[in-house]
A = this chain, B = another copy of it.
Amino acid sequence: MSEGEFEIIDKYFANIGWRSDEVQLGPGDDCALLKVSQGNQLCVSTDTLLSGVHLPVGVAGDIAAHRALAANLSDLSAMGARPLGFLIALTLPEADSQWLELFSQTISRLSHQYRIPLVGGNLSRGPLSVTMTIMGTVPEGSALTRSGARVGDAVYTTGYTGDAAAGLRIVTQGREGHEQLARAYCHPMPAIETGQSLRGIASACIDISDGLLPDLDHILQASGVGAIIELDRLSISSALRAFANTGDLLEFVLAGGDDYQLCFCAPPDRQTSILDLSRRTGTLVTRIGNIVTDRGLWLLHPDGHKTLAESRGYRHF
C-alpha cells in the first residue's frame, strides 16, 4: 500500500466519529478488537452500494456516505440491535479531496448521531463502490427476525413509504423542489431507536430497502404465512401525493426501495405498546394490514376487491 493511501486514511478517516469503550483496539492494526458484553449476541451485516446501480453516477461524497451507512444501520434497526461498530471498504476512481472531505464529514456526523464507532476499513483504487459491514448487539434471544409472523398479527410500517424512490427520480432528473422526497433518498434516517423499542413487541421485522412488497414478502416466506395490505391505509406523505400522479403513486409506495424504514408484525394485543413507543420515539407508525393464512401478498383495494400482488423489487441479475 502506498503513502498516498495511508495519507488519505490519516487525513479523512483517522480519529473521526464516535468513540466507545467497547472498541478496545481501533483502526490501524490487522483487526479491530471489540468487546461484546455478556448476555448479548453479536449482529452483523454487510451491504454494497455501487455507482450506477445503488448510487447515481457522479454521486456526491456526502450522499454516498449517508446512504451507505443508513443502509447498514437499517439492518441493525430491523434486528432491534444497538450499534457496536462499522467498517468501510471504499473503492474510489481517484483521490478527489473534495469528495473525500464530504464523505468523511458525513460519516463522522452520522457516527456521532448513531453512536457507532468506525473500527476499520479498506481503501482501493477502482470504480466507485462503498461496502460497509455493520455490527450491533442484542440481549440474547431478543433479536427481531423475519420468521416470527403469525396469523392474526397486524402489519405495520414506520415513517412514510415511497418517498425515497420518488426522491431518487428527482435527484437523477436534476429537478428542483420536492425537498422532503430528495432528502428521503439522499439522507435517510434509519429508526434505530424504534427497532430497539420493538424488542418484545414485534413478532417479525424487516427494513424496507428493496420495496415494501418485496421486503414484506421476505417476512411471509420466512414465517410461512400470507398478508393482506389495505391500500387506503398505506403511509403516504403529502409530499409524495403532490409529486406523483395516480399511476405512479402506488408503484412508488409498494415497489420503491431505499426508504430504510421498518415493516413489522405484532400480535393485536400489542397495539397499545406500539402507540406508546410511537409517541415516545416520535416515530410515525401505521397499521397497514394483517397476517393471514392464505399464502401470498394480497392487496385490498378501496372498493373492497382483493388482488394478489407481484412482489418483485430491483433485479440485479
Report A's interface with B, CB cutoff 8 A.
1-5, 8, 24-25, 28-36, 38, 41-48, 50, 52-54, 74-76, 78-79, 81, 85, 87-89, 91-92, 94-95, 119-127, 129, 131, 133-136, 138, 143, 145-147, 205-207, 210, 214, 222, 312-317
B5 engages A317 (CB within 8 Å): yes
Nearest B residue to A22 via CB reads B42
State the CA gap A92–B316 with chains docked (Å). Answer: 10
The contact of A1 among B124, B206, B314, by CB within 8 Å, is B314
Contact call B46/A317, Cβ cutoff below 8 A: no
In the assembled complex, the Cα of A130 lies from the Cα of B127 at a distance in Å of: 13
Contact A122 B46 (CB under 8 A): yes
The reply to whether B312 and A3 form a contact with Cβ atoms under 8 Å apart is yes
**Given A30-B75, A46-B89, A133-B133, 19 additional A-B pairs, CB 8 A:** A1-B210, A1-B214, A2-B312, A2-B315, A4-B317, A5-B316, A29-B147, A29-B222, A30-B78, A30-B205, A31-B43, A31-B75, A31-B78, A31-B134, A44-B85, A46-B121, A50-B126, A91-B129, A125-B317
Across the interface, which residues of B come within 8 angstroms of A146, CB to CB?
28-30
Contacts of A52 in B (CB 8 A): 126
Contact, CB under 8 Å: A315 / B1: yes
Q: Are B122 and A1 in contact (CB under 8 A)?
A: no
Cα(A134)–Cα(B317), bound, Å = 26
Interchain CB contact under 8 A, B41 and A33: yes
Q: Tell me, rounded to whole Å, the shortest Cβ–Cβ distance linking A211 to chain B.
A: 9
- Residues in B with CB closer than 8 Å to A35 are 41-42
Copies of chain A in the complex: 2
Q: Do B131 and A122 touch across chains, with their CB atoms under 8 A apart?
A: yes
Query: A8–B46 contact, CB under 8 A?
Result: no
Is there an interface contact between A125 and B316, defined as CB atoms closer than 8 Å? Answer: yes
**Shortest beta-carbon contacts, A-B, top 8:** A2-B315, A4-B317, A31-B43, A30-B78, A133-B133, A36-B36, A31-B45, A34-B42
11 of the cross-chain contacts (CB-CB < 8 Å) are A1-B315, A2-B315, A4-B316, A25-B145, A29-B222, A45-B87, A45-B120, A50-B124, A53-B125, A92-B317, A127-B127
Contacts of A43 in B (CB 8 A): 31-34
Contact A138 B33 (CB under 8 A): yes
Q: Is the CB of B46 within 8 A of A87?
A: yes
Query: Which residue in B44, B123, B127, B136 is a CB contact (below 8 Å) of A87?
Result: B44
User: Which one of A42, A45, A54, A74 has the greatest number of beta carbons of chain B within 10 Å?
Assistant: A42
Residues in B whose Cβ lies below 8 Å from that of A81: 31
Alpha-carbon distance A287/B220, docked complex (angstroms): 59
Interface contact A123-B5, CB-CB below 8 Å? no
Q: How far is the CA of A123 from the CA of B54 in the complex (A)?
A: 12
Q: Are B29 and A95 in contact (CB under 8 A)?
A: no
Do A44 and B30 form a contact, CB below 8 Å, given A3-B312, A5-B317, A25-B145?
no
Q: How far is the CA of A131 from the CA of B126 in the complex (A)?
A: 13
